[in-house]
Amino acid sequence: MCGILGIVSSKDENISESVFRESLSLMSHRGPDGMNIKKNVGCILGHVRLSIIDLSDLGKQPMYCEFNNKKLMIVFNGEIYNYLEIRDSLLKEGFVFKTKTDTEVLVAAYSLWGENCLDRLNGMFSFAIWDVNRRELFAARDRIGKKPFFYYKHGDTLVFSSEIKAIRNIFPQIQMDPEKFFQYLVLPNNYNSGPIETFFKNIKQLPAGHFIKYKEGGDFLIKKWWSFSDLLKNSKNEQFLPGEFNSIFLDTFNDAVKIRTRSDVKIGLSLSGGIDSTSILSALSKIYDEKGGDIFTFSLCHPGSSTDERGLVQDTVDYFKNKTGTKIIPSFFDFPKTISEEDVIKFCKIHDEPVRSFDVYNQFFLNKKVHESGIKVLLSGQGADEFFWGYPRYYNVKALDDLKRIKVINFIKDVSYISSFYNKKFHSVVLNTFSMMFPSLYFNKRLDYFSHNYFLNKDLLKPELLFNRYNFLNPTDANAFRVAELDYSSLPSLLRDEDINSMSFSVETRAPYLDYRIMELATKIPIEECLKNSQTKYFNRSIFSELIPKNIAWRKTKSGFYEKRTMRYLNNFEMFALKEIKKSDFIKNFIRIGDVDLNNSELLWKLFNVAVLDIKHD
């Protein structure tokens, strides 16, 4: 895991090495183990290294390789988990390797198979390969977008980076996009800029499952090579056979965890009291029971809170210690009782784009503690909820789906679950489900609140575009909603948060549930097998119930990773936030700051985020 930066330009004078080096250093947190730059005619590549595989200097990047009469330079962020298997295939083709890295394997694979090498990769990655002779760039991003790839095209100059801050340092004239500002304020908390756009004008991100081909001074091509929606369409007619399928799923899951333990440094696990991280611990306990070694777990605690999971985590650790005899070393960290203004500003700044809520700080703080413990690689259960219908809100979608299909009994069961989980009256849930068929009602109410109370110029709002965006992110069809969650809203936001939260402290996170083989299997499971018997992720619970503590497998309450009352730890946040907001010239152009309601914590947090990005701090 690392940070990458590159510039391709037909004019060498457009490439200032000193500015480039300064910009690369802004991402030193991503790679504290080395910073290097290579320059070629029309191209300059930079890399900050977090050493995980082949810790020797042979693994440093940018890496120059010659394969198949091709001279290639690469910068690569991520991991190719099946690099050993690909390496074996390439050895049979006559390839000779100088390092033990997955980076060199990736270059060799590209030299032999071209863009088709992507189909063979099992991993998380964003990389760029410069063909020295052809003066052509090939860059790609992994299937689900676990690793970021931002780019900015200015004339015939292309700049790309792992983080927006590096691009903005090269082009300081780039401004925040007012349209995205309005989206951020008006749309609910799961706002994400989208698969292509960012919060800044003309800085874009390469969509997940896409690649770029760029010929110096010429053609610029972006092409899709994988998508979950295509996968979902192709699996609709396949028959679901539980018995045989369960065995295939478990074998695949165990292997997904196993190949993510490939590392030359110690590995840890982010462990909560939920089924996702506990299922990973189950697989790890078998792996480490065979090969030996210690399992390090890290858990965040909120003493005195109803969401505190220390007891559940400790019981889980004891369960696996007694079951397999594997040595598990748990670490528990209490969330700080107070958070300084400086830490809040640093948190917002390093994210580059506005953060949806301060609850994200939980993950940021835990990764800080993981780093202080000397761990570089951390496994997590990220992605399981989105792929296996794990959020209680998904029952709202199923209820609407059952209502439209006139499945009355199923609808009553869905509403009963929602009513019980959220402690709401049955009839109010029914009314809410009906209202989901008319999204304009909720949207217009929210839009009116902002436009009447805060916006200086309502004409700038473009309500039609905002509503189309809202409607797109909240479709009423179950499968369309799932695709929106995975491609545009929930998962992209979580992955963006996780990347910054972990890499801010030089920690690489690996997510077995985002193995493409697991994603493919998830498309074959009907929604009725996941939202069943008043349970979310029913399929996962039933399959792991004999492998993990039953109280974890069938636990109905869901705390999630985030403590929802994190802002209570910010002393006098309202006045502090307002002070920062008043400093922002960008916000003053659109918002009546004097009318901002200090009791509206969502609005205050969002405006504060934008202000921090707009203001220069020491």
Tens-place pLDDT, residues 523-548: 999 999 999 999 999 999 999 999 99
Q: Which tokens sit at 162?
A: 């792992």
* Amino acid 450: pLDDT: 82
Query: For residue 471, how many other CB atoms are within 10 A of its CB?
Result: 13
* Amino acid 261: pLDDT: 98
Q: Name 244's Cβ contacts closer than 8 Å, sequence gap at least 6.
A: none
> What does pTM read for this prediction?
0.95
Please state at what angle helix 573-582 crosses helix 341-351, rounded to 10 degrees.
50
3-state helix, strand, coil in the chain (%, to 5): 50, 15, 35
Q: How confident is the model at residue 362 (pLDDT cuts 50, 70, 90)?
A: very high
Helices (H), 392-535: 394-404, 408-422, 426-435, 439-453, 463-473, 478-487, 490-503, 516-522
Residue 72 in this model has a pLDDT that exceeds 80: yes
Helix (H) or strand (E) holding 379: strand 377-379
- CA-CA distance, 99 to 78, in Å (whole number)? 17
**Residue range 437-449: mean pLDDT, rounded:** 84
| pLDDT tens readout for residues 10-44 | 876 667 889 999 999 999 999 999 999 999 988 99
Domain 239-388+490-553 class in CATH: alpha beta
Query: For residue 484, how many other CB atoms are within 10 A of its CB?
Result: 19
Work out the angle at residue 6's Cα, subtended by the Cα atoms of residues 123 and 172, and round it to the nearest 5 degrees.
120
CA 248 centroid distance within chain: 26
Q: Which amino acid is at 174?
A: I
> What is the side-by-side order of every strand in the sheet holding 2-8?
35-40, 43-49, 2-8, 157-161, 150-154, 203-205
Return the higher-pLDDT residue of 439 and 110. Answer: 110
CB 282 within 8 A of CB 547: yes
Distance between terminal CA atoms of the chain?
Answer: 28
According to DSSP, the β-strands at 35-40 and 43-49 are antiparallel
Helix (H) or strand (E) holding 605: helix 601-614
Work out the angle at residue 308's Cα, subtended by the Cα atoms of residues 508 and 414, and round it to the nearest 5 degrees.
95
Return the higher-pLDDT residue of 414 and 468. Answer: 414
* Amino acid 461: pLDDT: 73
What is the DSSP code string of 261-290?
T--SS-EEEE--SSHHHHHHHHHHHHHHHH
DSSP label at 118? G
* Amino acid 395: pLDDT: 94
Per-domain residue ranges of the chain:
2-226, 239-388+490-553, 571-618
Residue 349 in this model has a pLDDT that exceeds 70: yes
Query: For residue 290, how many other CB atoms are within 10 A of its CB?
Result: 11
Could you identify the residue written with the tokens 């007891």?
311
CA atoms within 13 A on the CB side of 589: 14
Is domain 2-226 classified as CATH 3.20.20.140?
no
Class of residue 223 by CB neighbours under 10 A (exposed 0-12, middle 13-18, buried 19+): exposed
Residue 119 in this model has a pLDDT that exceeds 80: yes
> What is the side-by-side order of every strand in the sheet holding 377-379?
328-334, 295-301, 267-270, 377-379, 508-510
**Residue range 482-497: mean pLDDT, rounded:** 91
CA dihedral (561, 563, 564, 568) positive or negative: negative
What values do phi and psi take at 455, rounded to 5? Answer: -80, 135
CB 280 within 8 A of CB 257: yes
Q: How confident is the model at residue 467 (pLDDT cuts 50, 70, 90)?
A: confident
Helix (H) or strand (E) holding 539: helix 538-544
- CA-CA distance, 319 to 611, in Å (whole number)? 48
* Amino acid 16: pLDDT: 83
Return the higher-pLDDT residue of 603 and 472. Answer: 603
- Dihedral angle of Cα 427, 306, 546, 292, to the nearest 10 degrees: 150
Q: Where does 61-171 show beta strands of DSSP type E?
A: 63-67, 70-80, 123-131, 136-141, 150-154, 157-161
- Dihedral angle of Cα 235, 238, 242, 248, to the nearest 10 degrees: -60
CB 36 within 8 A of CB 29: no
Q: Which of 16-20, 196-200, 259-263, 462-466 has the lowest mean pLDDT?
A: 462-466
C-alpha closest to that of 563 among 309, 270, 278: 309
